C-alpha cells in the first residue's frame, strides 16, 4: 500500500488493454496481398567441423501456401498463408474451409481470430470476398462468422 507522499510523486497508472490482433490496427478487417514465397525452416543439420564445411546448415522448404502441423494432441495439415496487410504488417493467416483457390499475389480480406492449435496464427482469411471464393457445396454454417461465404443452395 503506497503512502500519500508516494501517490503524489507517482500517480497510479491506468491498466492498458493489449489487443490480440495488433496488425489490424483497431479495424474489424484489413485487406492484404498474399506474399510470393513463404520460407519455413524444416530441419537444421549439424555438420561435423571439417575443412570447407560451415557450422550449421539450414534446409528450407519453399512453398507459396505451406501447411502447418498443429500442437499436441491434434494432427492435421492446416492451410495457412503469409499476407502483407495494408497496415504494413506481414502476418500468417489461416484459410478456413475445405479447399481454396488462393495463390501468390491474391488479394484477401483478413479478420481477427486465432487458431487454437496453431501457435502464432492469430488471423483468419474471410472466404467469399475479393479473390478468396466461398467454400463449394457447403450446406450448414454458410456465413458462420465471416468464414465460409457460401451461397444459399437452390
Per-residue pLDDT tens over the stretch 34-80: 985 443 333 333 334 444 544 444 444 434 456 778 888 988 888 88
DSSP per position, 82-138: EEEETTS-EEEEE--SS-----TT-EEEEEE---TTSTT--EEEPTTBTTBPPPTT-
Is 7 in a helix, a strand, or coil? Answer: helix
pLDDT of residue 57: 46
Instruction: Give percent of the chain above pLDDT 90.
Output: 47
Placement of cell 504488417 in the chain: 89
Residue 144 and residue 80: Cα distance in Å, rounded? Answer: 19
Amino acid at each position: 500500500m503506497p503512502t500519500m507522499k508516494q501517490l503524489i510523486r507517482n500517480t497510479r497508472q491506468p491498466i492498458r488493454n493489449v489487443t490480440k490482433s495488433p496488425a489490424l490496427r483497431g479495424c474489424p478487417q484489413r485487406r492484404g496481398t498474399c506474399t510470393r514465397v513463404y520460407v519455413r525452416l524444416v530441419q537444421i543439420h549439424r555438420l561435423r567441423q571439417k575443412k570447407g564445411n560451415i557450422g550449421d546448415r539450414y534446409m528450407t522448404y519453399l512453398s507459396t501456401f505451406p501447411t502447418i502441423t498443429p500442437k499436441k494432441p491434434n494432427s492435421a495439415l492446416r492451410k495457412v498463408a503469409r499476407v502483407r496487410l495494408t497496415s504494413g504488417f506481414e502476418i500468417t493467416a489461416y484459410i478456413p474451409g475445405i479447399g481454396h483457390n488462393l495463390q501468390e499475389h491474391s488479394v484477401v480480406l483478413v479478420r481477427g481470430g486465432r487458431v487454437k492449435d496453431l501457435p502464432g496464427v492469430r488471423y483468419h482469411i474471410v472466404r467469399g470476398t475479393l479473390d478468396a471464393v466461398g467454400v463449394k457445396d457447403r450446406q450448414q454454417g454458410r456465413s458462420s462468422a465471416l468464414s465460409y461465404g457460401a451461397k444459399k443452395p437452390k
